[in-house]
Chain A
Amino acid sequence: MSDWSRAELRARTPESATARTLHLTVDGWPGHLPGQHVDVRLTADDGYRAVRSYSLSAPADGDRIEISVQPAPHGEVSPYLAEDFPVGAGIEVKGPLGGWFVWKPGRPGPVLLVAGGSGIAPLAAMLRARLDLGDDGPPFHLAYSLRDPGQRWFGALLDGVAKAEDPAVTAACLYTRTAPPGHPRPVGRITAADLDLPGFAPADGALAFVCGPTAFVEKAAGLLVHLGHRPDRVRTERFG
């Protein structure tokens, strides 16, 4: 049994020079939890089909969902979605999927989000769901490792977090190659110091979500374990 639903592309917005967020509406979408993903099915004229999984990058909002796509060089699906799939056209989706890499709004306890590159997508959904709770939500911190300022996805969301200056919801960009002028952190890969934060220690009962390329997740999850976080409180999602 398969439960494919028809979705329609409403808008496509840029996250970087090449990455795009697709804003879709889905017939009968049942809602989802931040961190869940969706399968997307494409059908060619001759009936050939291709399916890929994408994290949902926004919290539940009626029949609207968002996925964020980094086109892979010579990729079969991602360049089409990011560049060619016309607004107003249809696609099929199945979901929501995934029951582990999810944050349930209302869960007490601080949350540490650790993103590598496009691994920010499901964590952006969690961060937005947290912001929707206002003053009632638990402490959140996002550590976002990225190559340079041009790769900074969800700029408006991150600018909003910075501008609000709410000590309960913070975000830090960890630039690995080029930082904007005056950026406080030296350029470089993620270190224990980026994750050793007051209020987000193992003793605080912090729950960590780490998402990114395999090598990044191996590094970041290892750092968290060495800082004393229980392995079962470090949830990971790897790609590539």
Chain B
Amino acid sequence: MATLTPGFHGHRRTRGDRLPPGQFLTEDFPVLSAGPTPEVPLDQWEFTLTTEDGGRHRWTWEQFLALPQQEVTTDLHCVTRWSKFDTRWRGVSLDTLLEGVTTHARYALAESYGGYTTNLPLADLRDGKAWIAHTYDGEPLAAEHGGPARLLVPHLYFWKSAKWITGLTLGRTDRRGFWEQFGYHDYGDPWREQRTWND
């Protein structure tokens, strides 16, 4: 077999263990979205948590901001192969939102303004691993990046961190979300390179 990409050297590799396989580091903040950016007025925004029995827990924007807030600094890994280190967020932990919610569900489907959905195991939203974030780098989260508020689940590929989130439906069975129906992996662990159905 002839040599692959002769003369390719690449940049210096000094990123230690923080960059998952197949990723490259960017200083930018690229955007992956399937369609137009929805406009969501804050006085109409609401977030609804629906359990497998149909029980509903609902927060308006004011109620949501009145919940305990957390600061999060984390690395992001997008399936389109960029990673971004040390991003700073502010938002509400899913642990806070799930407090006092009785459920035996194993799965969650995140639902967004504009119709986007993504599926995750409920366990991946618990124990300090997931937030609904409304502030990025000290500023209100821009609409193109998912504002007013987006899910933040940084240990999975970033498409799982649904932009423009408005609901979370818990269920006993796994239902595929938007990109998952179009070929993306059901779970999406960047360290195991779970990008597509075949991975």
Contact = CB atoms under 8 A, between A and B. Distances in A.
B157 to A, nearest CB: 14
B36 interface: yes
Interface in B12-39: 13, 22, 24, 28, 30-38
Given A231-B35, A234-B36, A80 B7 contact: yes
B19 to A, nearest CB: 11
A225 B30 contact: no
Contacts of B144: 214, 218
B183 interface: yes
Contact of B5 (A80, A88, A214, A236): A80
Interface size of A as a range: 35 or more
A43 interface: yes
Interface stretch (A89-97, A126-134, A187-195): A89-97
Interface string A30-57: 0000000001001111001111110000
A6 interface: yes
Given A218-B144, A235-B34, A239-B30, A90 B115 contact: no
A92 B4 contact: yes
B81 A76 contact: no
Most buried by A among B4, B32, B196: B4
A86 B6 contact: yes
B33 A231 contact: no
- B interface majority secondary structure: loop
B2 interface: yes
Nearest to B143: A218
Nearest to A221: B36
A224 interface: yes
A86 B4 CA distance: 10
Contacts of A14: none
Interface string B99-129: 0000000000000001100000000000000
A221 B35 contact: yes
Interface string A68-103: 000000001100100011101111100001111100
A89 B36 contact: no
Contacts of A90: 1-5
A100 B22 contact: no
A22 to B, nearest CB: 12
A49 B144 CA distance: 31
Given A51-B81, A231-B115, A100 B34 contact: yes
B189 to A, nearest CB: 14
A235 to B, nearest CB: 6
14 contacts: A6-B1, A50-B8, A50-B10, A85-B8, A89-B5, A90-B4, A90-B5, A91-B4, A214-B144, A231-B35, A231-B36, A231-B114, A231-B115, A238-B32
Please list the 4 inter-chain residue pairs (A to B) with the smallest Cβ-Cβ separation, ordered nearest first: A99-B182, A221-B36, A42-B5, A99-B183
Interface of B: 1-11, 13, 22, 24, 28, 30-38, 80-81, 114-115, 144, 179, 181-183, 193, 196, 198-199
Given A2-B193, A85-B7, A89-B3, 18 more contacts: A1-B198, A1-B199, A44-B8, A50-B24, A76-B24, A80-B7, A84-B8, A85-B5, A88-B2, A89-B5, A90-B4, A100-B182, A214-B30, A221-B37, A222-B37, A224-B36, A225-B36, A231-B38
